């Protein structure tokens, strides 16, 4: 139970300036004017806001800095993104809510005892720019399918990474905290997809958000089934009856359905790295290789900055909590001084101490609000650190596509060599060797199919290269805008809140100064 003093401290309201709204509008107009200056806004001198002259004076009486530049945090209310890149999205709002547990008719889990508790579906509400509103329910498996389809059809793009699945889902999903964390992560994932200039307009995302009933996208086959299909297919491939076609080489071989291709690409990787022979096609884009190295350095810098940001948030949280505890401790001390006072000076000191306690609680609340603002702005570092996972995947797509081209060109070289040897051996026999000639025709047909597959693989490799190039340019622009916005918001919130905190203590200092002068007079 809290005492009456503690309860009164819990219901304290923070004083706000009446002129804040007007001053803030002046600040926004000044910022709009400053944005017309060419170049980096951080390197340009800010345009100071213009304030009216006071009727009773002949000089400018500007408001406080915090009243001018500080604006409180407003939630996005489901908006896709505040980033400039989101202007190309087809969706105005996406929300994920109302998780509902449903029973699983057939258990598909490989973990004994798990999966019997059913699964959760989430209500996904979206509004497109054309005014179309959609409300559908999806389970986490549908999100996995969407991510797989996007990864297949948009290789080379920086596709946002979907949230991870629980390790032992049947047990973990019983936690309400886990469900809420997953809901938030899925909502953020969909908004990132919608904010992407290409994926936001994709058919896969549109079908996922708007198609009623079961998700019509083809589901992902589990690894065991793919490996089994690959094992069944392998004997036909070894005999030459089954050749990898053009439609297969545009996807990576690690899916498991083409074991022979996996073995060949593994052999090609070993040849490239250990044998030392130069493949027919290599990565010669020096600009891309330099950018790749810079992205690795950027990831390191983002990691360091993110760690320091977390340290700052923890420090601000600690000082806010400590300041609040100090205020409550002063309240208890004030109560003790008041109850035990025998002189009027003790009661006066207790009243002054209560003012300090009130200021400490106000400062504590301001520190908590400041910390929320800090988390909001510095979260940009975590966002861009998460983008690096998508960058690595896109670069891996490029390496995989190049390896496929190298493997097919190596196969063509080997096939042509075999044809030449068979034709040479057959020419030494009068009338030719029919068995060898028939084998030559079979090999030529295999060469034709492999040549078509190589052409498709080269086109896919070039497409991925173009995607990498455009995505790197887009990421540079996005990072510039996001980090600039982060720095502006962080500095403004720090200055604004610390001025408010300073104003709280300045008021107490003025009141204590009056008390100290009264003490001096009484002593004289």
DSSP code of 156? T
Cα-Cα-Cα-Cα torsion 143, 145, 149, 151, nearest 10 degrees, comes to 60
What confidence score (pLDDT) does residue 36 get? 38
Which residues lie below 8 Å from residue 328, measured CB to CB, with a gap of 6+?
A: 6, 9, 357, 361
Burial class of 305 by CB neighbour count within 10 A (0 to 12, 13 to 18, 19+): middle
Give the Å distances, CA to CA, from 160 to 79, 146, 394, 517. Answer: 17, 12, 11, 64
What confidence score (pLDDT) does residue 234 get? 56
Question: What percent of the residues of the chain are helix, what percent strand, and what percent coil, each to the nearest 5?
Answer: 65, 5, 25
Give the Å distances, CA to CA, from 365 to 28, 325, 360. Answer: 26, 11, 9
Query: What DSSP element (H or E) covers 92?
Result: strand 91-102
DSSP code of 163? P
Residue 54 tokens, joined: 């006071």
Gap between the Cα atoms of 129 and 249, Å rounded: 37
Residue 504 tokens, joined: 């709280």
Whether pTM > 0.75 for this model: the answer is no
Largest CA distance in the chain: 135
> What b-and-e string marks burial along 22-39, b requiring 16 or more CB atoms within 10 Å of the CB?
ebbebbeebeeeeeeeee
Gap between the Cα atoms of 222 and 386, Å rounded: 26
pLDDT along the chain (524 residues), means of 10: 45 38 38 37 39 35 41 53 58 90 64 59 91 90 92 93 68 71 92 93 92 73 56 59 63 63 69 66 84 94 94 94 92 84 76 87 93 93 92 92 87 87 74 74 86 90 94 94 94 94 90 62 55
Please, are residues 511 and 355 in contact by the beta-carbon 8 Å criterion? yes
Residue 482 tokens, joined: 């996001």
The neighbouring-strand residues paired with 123 are 97, 137
Burial class of 383 by CB neighbour count within 10 A (0 to 12, 13 to 18, 19+): middle
What confidence score (pLDDT) does residue 176 get? 80
Q: What are phi and psi of 443, to 5 degrees?
A: -65, -35
Gap between the Cα atoms of 440 and 451, Å rounded: 16
- Nearest Cα neighbor of 392 from 159, 197, 146 is 159
What confidence score (pLDDT) does residue 55 get? 39
The sign one gets for the Cα dihedral 281, 285, 286, 288 is negative
Q: Which residue, chain included where needed, has tokens 């003093």?
A: 5
- Nearest Cα neighbor of 153 from 112, 88, 206 is 206
């Amino acid at each position: 139970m809290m005492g009456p003093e503690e309860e009164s401290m819990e219901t304290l309201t923070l004083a706000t300036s009446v002129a804040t709204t007007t001053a803030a509008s002046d600040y926004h107009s000044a910022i709009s004017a400053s944005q017309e200056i060419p170049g980096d806004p951080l390197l340009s001198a800010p345009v100071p806001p213009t304030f009216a002259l006071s009727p009773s004076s002949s000089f400018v009486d500007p408001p406080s800095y915090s009243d001018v530049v500080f604006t409180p945090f407003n939630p996005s209310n489901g908006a896709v993104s505040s980033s400039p890149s989101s202007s190309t999205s087809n969706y105005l709002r996406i929300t994920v809510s109302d998780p509902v547990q449903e029973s699983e008719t057939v258990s598909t889990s490989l973990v004994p005892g798990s999966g019997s508790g059913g699964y959760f579906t989430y209500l996904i509400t979206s509004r497109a720019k054309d005014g179309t509103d959609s409300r559908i329910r999806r389970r986490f498996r549908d999100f996995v399918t969407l991510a797989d389809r996007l990864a297949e059809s948009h290789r080379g793009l920086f596709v946002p990474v979907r949230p991870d699945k629980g390790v032992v889902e049947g047990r973990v999903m019983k936690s309400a905290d886990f469900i809420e964390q997953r809901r938030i992560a899925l909502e953020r994932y969909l908004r990132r997809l919608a904010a992407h200039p290409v994926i936001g307009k994709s058919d896969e995302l549109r079908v996922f958000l708007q198609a009623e009933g079961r998700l019509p996208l083809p589901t992902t086959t589990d690894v065991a089934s793919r490996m089994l299909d690959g094992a069944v297919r392998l004997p036909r491939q070894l005999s030459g009856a089954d050749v990898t076609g053009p439609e297969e080489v545009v996807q990576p071989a690690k899916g498991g359905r083409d074991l022979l291709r996996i073995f060949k690409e593994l052999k090609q990787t070993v040849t490239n790295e250990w044998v030392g022979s130069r493949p027919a096609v290599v990565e010669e884009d020096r600009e891309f290789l330099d950018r790749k190295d810079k992205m690795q350095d950027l990831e390191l810098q983002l990691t360091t900055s993110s760690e320091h940001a977390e340290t700052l948030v923890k420090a601000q949280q600690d000082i806010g909590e400590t300041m609040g505890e100090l205020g409550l401790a002063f309240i208890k001390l004030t109560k003790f001084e008041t109850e035990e006072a025998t002189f009027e000076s003790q009661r006066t000191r207790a009243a002054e101490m209560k003012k300090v306690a009130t200021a400490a609680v106000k400062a504590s609340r301001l520190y908590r609000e400041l910390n929320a603002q800090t988390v909001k702005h510095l979260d940009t570092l975590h966002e861009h650190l998460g983008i690096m996972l998508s960058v690595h995947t896109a670069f891996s797509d490029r390496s995989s596509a190049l390896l496929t081209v190298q493997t097919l060109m190596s196969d063509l070289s080997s096939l042509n060599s075999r044809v030449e040897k068979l034709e040479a051996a057959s020419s030494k026999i009068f009338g030719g060797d029919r068995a060898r000639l028939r084998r030559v025709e079979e090999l030529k047909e295999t060469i034709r199919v492999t040549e078509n597959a190589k052409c498709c693989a080269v086109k896919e490799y070039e497409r991925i290269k173009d995607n990498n190039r455009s995505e790197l340019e887009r990421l540079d622009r996005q990072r510039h805008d996001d980090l600039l916005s982060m720095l502006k918001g962080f500095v403004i919130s720090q200055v604004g809140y610390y001025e408010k905190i300073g104003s709280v203590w300045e008021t107490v200092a003025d009141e204590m100064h009056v008390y100290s002068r009264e003490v001096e007079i009484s002593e004289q």
